[in-house]
Structure 1
Amino acid sequence: MNKYVFIILIFIHFCSFGQQKAFTGNPDRAFKVARDLAFNKQRKQAQDTLLFILTKYPDYHDIRSFLGSTYSWDGHYKKAKDAFNYVLKKSPDRLDTWEAAIKNELWSAAPFSALEMIKKALKHFPENSEILYLKASAEEASNNPEEALVTIETILKNDSNHKKAKAYKTSLTTKLSLNTIGLKASVDLYSQVFDPMQFYLIKYARATKYGSIHGKININRRFQSNGVQFEIDMYPRITNGLYAYLNFGMSNSFLFPDIRYGAELYKSLPKSFEASLGFRALKFSATTTIYTGAVGWYQKNNYWSFRAYVTPGEPKASKSGTLSFRKYRSDANNYFSVDVGAGFSPEENRFNFGGNENAIINLQSQKFNLGYYFSSKNNTNLWGAQAGIAHQEISFNPGSYFWIYSFSLSWDLLFK
């Protein structure tokens, strides 16, 4: 049907209702008109039509239930609840109405009310998968993710192929895995001058209600010597959309700064943007301070970010920047990454400068990295692989460059 003819028919039909004090038409046909109005972004007209039909047919439960759904979509949760309660009181065997009513409670941020309604629904539909799924959602929303996981496992016990439940179980398992241990091994291969340089990382992380804490041991083998650095990172949550990064590390090896510390604030912005601003301080023979900031943007399953470093020095400040892209797959633990950067930053090149800081931080450098990160089915084991290439100026031979080929592998284990 031509869309203009369709609109005219709806208009005529609706006007005919307005001229009547009581509904006298065909309720099924009028219900169809109301549904078309609702799904064509004319919700108020649809609701008026549904209410008009109910003046003659107050127990036409499909109509009143649909009216409740339209109220819920518009955020009129009290009106929706009244409509659903009317229907369920007279016809408690309506599964779709129970589902809509429970969702209305969840959308209105009333998970405990949703749980009360779910108890009643399960008396009529014992072990129904959809009702149990909503029960798990309500349990998580009421800060009981452990109970939500038990509920999801009940669904999967009865239906092992329930796709939504399987995905939800993975999400809950990750949320409940408050502890992480991880290992990382990297190697840098130089086209000339230097022997291969090796880097190893051992970490333990703990998620808390205040933010996560990461303890790290960095092990480095360079210039035929071994060195160890102890480091702690913290990500305290300040308020919704605002958190911080705090860092402190120390070492007695010439391969690392004697002390390093830093801080940064991260803020969520409208339109899926985020921004940060902070600093890092590295104490070599003198203390080098690096100022850094980043801008990120989430676009569906894509994430773009640009991070800049500025290191004051003589004869001028050193600047470097990295543009990063991530393509996420099923979740935040599964993605492909690309990094492109220019400039030398002592934050990213963590070794002692031997008193030659000013010369080194002004080195010319370009880099390109590729990464692939993936997890096991239950998100308990996380793996990562990265390969990169850099073209960097030689510190003791300005104007000459070597190539650096980098490879790394990482593994994290999440557990309660």
Structure 2
Amino acid sequence: MRKHWQIMNKGNYNKYNMRLLIIGLCFIFGLNSLTYAQKVSSDDLLKQAMEQTNLNKDYDKAIQLAKQGLTVSPDYTDIQLLLGRLYLIKKEYTQGEMMLKKVLEKDPENVDALNYLINGFYAQKKYSDAIRYADVYLTHYPNDEQMQLKKVDFTTLQGDLKSAYDLSDSLSKRYPQNDKIRLINNDLMLLTRQNRVGVGYSVTAFDQNGRRPWDIYNVSYMRSEKNGSIIGRASYADRKTAKGYQFEVEAYPIHGNSYSFINMSYSNSIVFPTFRFSYSYFFPQKNGWEPEAGIRYLNNEEDFVSFVAALGKYFGKYWLSGKVFVTPHDDKVATSFALSGRYYIGESVDDYVTAIAGYGFSPDDRGRNFDIGNRINIQNARVTLGYQRTLWRRNILGLFGSWNNFKYNADNRRNEYDLAISFQHMF
């Protein structure tokens, strides 16, 4: 009996162990099934979120789905990347940066996380942060040309043109076959040349026998800064019957997306206006149009005030502009018109050919505005052709020629011919 009880007890014990084994196996399989279901569920949510992002552009719905995916799989990198990108698209930059930095904590070399962060800082104009993460990116991927160009761009936008030029110069040596890098480097080289000195000479000849030519000489210095440029210029004129000097200051201040032109000059000689003041405000538009409004004041025994209006337009490398001057004087209104065209050669704004046609006396005519009182109401037609080119990267040579025809009366006309040459050196 005792032996039988032992056999029975042993059988029950084996059955009990078998049940425990079955329960344990079921529990393990259940956990595996649950984990698998979670993975499938988070993948499905990621897929739906991407469809809402890329196809439907419903970013709010995509964010909701991505968040659900993270509740299932809190450490799912692809969902974290998508959610970080979505926050940046929605301009919720702080949340986007936090999510992307989570990815970088576990994967410091993640290309997408670094790119999204850099683009987000760029969108916020946080150029220092963009540069910092660009450096991190280049630590891991030092041969990425696009990121190196981005760093040059960020440094330029930050206003540190010298550092930007140093970067582009090293890249141009490293990648000599890359035309884009070469062009950027050339532009930055010119931009970092904040100083210019210039000399100029112009001569005016007449078709009247015995009338001697006029000569004008000038020297100038220009300084360029982030907020604009300023020029100092001294001129000497020899008009044969009189000679004298003129001193002037010219500036081009920048106001956001607009800019101004300001010029003031003084002379104690009759060969120049005693005092001249010019001002124009330019309104560049995104579509390439550029309106201008301004005023001119000349004083030489009399006061003359002119009002200026112009409209220009860029057509690729072409620039066309129409300008009108209106000058009330002696109960009359003198009007002057000018149509100018310019074609830019290459990528520099200093390289171009130009043609100008005008009618009426212009107060901006430097060679003749000293005589505005005698010329303002005279019929006048004029044509100017010009060519300017950068030489050896740091020098600019300009050649200009003009023809002016003045009609004093039905039987009295006079032709005047101008030839001008200018040279500037950048440093």
TM-score scaled by length of structure 1: 0.75
**Higher-RCO chain (CA-CA 8 Å, sequence separation at least 6):** 1
SS in 1 for 2:375: helix
Residue 159 of structure 2 aligns to a residue whose secondary structure is coil
Structure 2 Cα separation of the partners of residues 124 and 166 of structure 1: 25
Match of 1:348 in 2: 365
The 8 Å contact of residues 47 and 70 in structure 1, kept in 2 or not, is answered as: no
Residue correspondence of structure 1 range 186-197 to structure 2 within 5 A: 186-193=202-209, 194-197=211-214
5 Å-filtered alignment, 1:342-381, equals: 342-348=359-365, 350-351=367-368, 357=373, 359-376=374-391, 378=393, 380-381=394-395
In the alignment, is residue 251 of structure 1 matched against residue 267 of structure 2? yes
Partner of 1:131: 147
1:156 partnered with 2:168: no
More helix by share: 2
Question: How do 1:117-266 and structure 2 match up within 5 A?
Answer: 117-126=133-142, 128-193=144-209, 194-209=211-226, 211-223=228-240, 225-237=242-254, 239-266=255-282
Per the alignment, do residues 210 and 140 of structure 1 end up closer, same or farther by CA in structure 2, a change over 3 Å counting?
closer
Equivalent residue, structure 1, for 2:354: 337
Which SS does the other structure have where 1:317 is aligned? strand
| Cα deviation, residue 292, structure 1 | 2.3
Deviation, structure 1 residue 177: 2.0
Question: Which residue does the alignment assign to 1:319?
Answer: 335
Amino acid at match of 1:169: N
| CA shift for structure 1 position 410 | 1.9
| Unaligned segments of structure 2, at least 5 residues | 1-39
By how many angstroms is 1:72 displaced?
5.6
- Report SS of the residue matched to 1:348: coil
The one-letter code matched in structure 2 to 1:316 is K
- How many Å separate the matches in 2 of 1:84 and 1:113? 14
Q: Distance between the aligned counterparts of 2:325 and 2:259, measured in 1? A: 20
Which whole-Å deviations, capped at 9, do the CAs of 1:35-92 have from their partners, x for residues lacking one? Answer: 9x94x8x54489949967x959999978976886687677665576466545545544
**1:293/1:259 Cα in 2 relative to 1: closer, same or farther (>3 Å)?**
same
Letter in 1 for 2:139: K
Deviation per CA, 1:84-113: give whole Å up to 9, x if none.
545545544455663454233212211122
Distance in 2 separating the partners of 1:162 and 1:275? 37
Give the drift of 1:315: 5.4
Q: Which residue matches 2:29? A: none
1:312 is paired with a residue whose SS is strand
- Is this contact kept in 2: 1:34–1:47, CA < 8 A? no
Shift of 1:124: 1.3
Alignment equivalent of 1:400, drawn from 382, 387, 412: 412
SS in structure 2 at match of 1:167: helix
Q: 1-side partners of 2:350 and 2:64: how far apart?
A: 46
Structure 1 Cα separation of the partners of residues 352 and 84 of structure 2:
40
Structure with the greater alpha carbon radius of gyration: 2
Structure 1 residues 71 and 400: alpha-carbon distance in aligned structure 2, compared to 1, 3 A threshold: farther
Contact 1:254–1:352 (8 Å) recurs in 2? no
CA RMSD, Structure 1 to Structure 2 (Å):
3.9
| 1:389 alignment counterpart | 403
Q: 2:320, 2:235 → 1: CA distance?
A: 28
Distance across 1 between alignment mates of 2:257 and 2:263: 20
Q: How many residues end up aligned between the 2 structures? A: 384
Task: Give, as a single letter, the amino acid of the residue that structure 1 aligns with 2:140.
Answer: H
Amino acid corresponding to residue 385 of structure 1 in structure 2: L
Percent identical across equivalent pairs? 24
Deviation at 1:252, TM superposition (A): 3.0
Q: 2:351, 2:75 → 1: CA distance?
A: 50
In the other structure, the counterpart of 1:12 is none
Name the structure 1 match of 2:312.
296
1:107-142 CA distance string (max 9 Å, x none)? 221112212212322331236433332222232333
Q: Does 1:114 align with 2:126?
A: no
Classify the secondary structure of the residue corresponding to 1:114: helix
Native 8 Å contact 2:204 2:215 kept in 1: yes
Question: CA 1:63–1:157 in 2, change beyond 3 Å: closer, same or farther?
Answer: farther
CA separation of 1:215 and 1:338: change in aligned 2, threshold 3 A? same
Give the conservation status (yes or no) of the 8 Å contact 2:159–2:226.
no
Q: Name the CA distance, whole Å, in 2 between partners of 1:87 and 1:228.
A: 69
Map residues 68-107 of structure 1 onto 2, 5 A cutoff: 81=97, 84-85=100-101, 88-95=104-111, 98-107=114-123
1:316 is displaced (CA, Å) by 1.7
What is the distance in 2 between the residues matched to 1:192 and 1:366? Answer: 18
* SS of structure 1 residue aligned to 2:271: coil
Counterpart of 1:217, as a letter, is: A
Once the two structures are superposed, residues 203-234 of structure 1 have per-residue CA deviations (whole angstroms, 9 ceiling, x without a partner) of 11122455322111122233465432111123
Letter in 2 for 1:369: T
Length-normalised TM-score, structure 2: 0.74
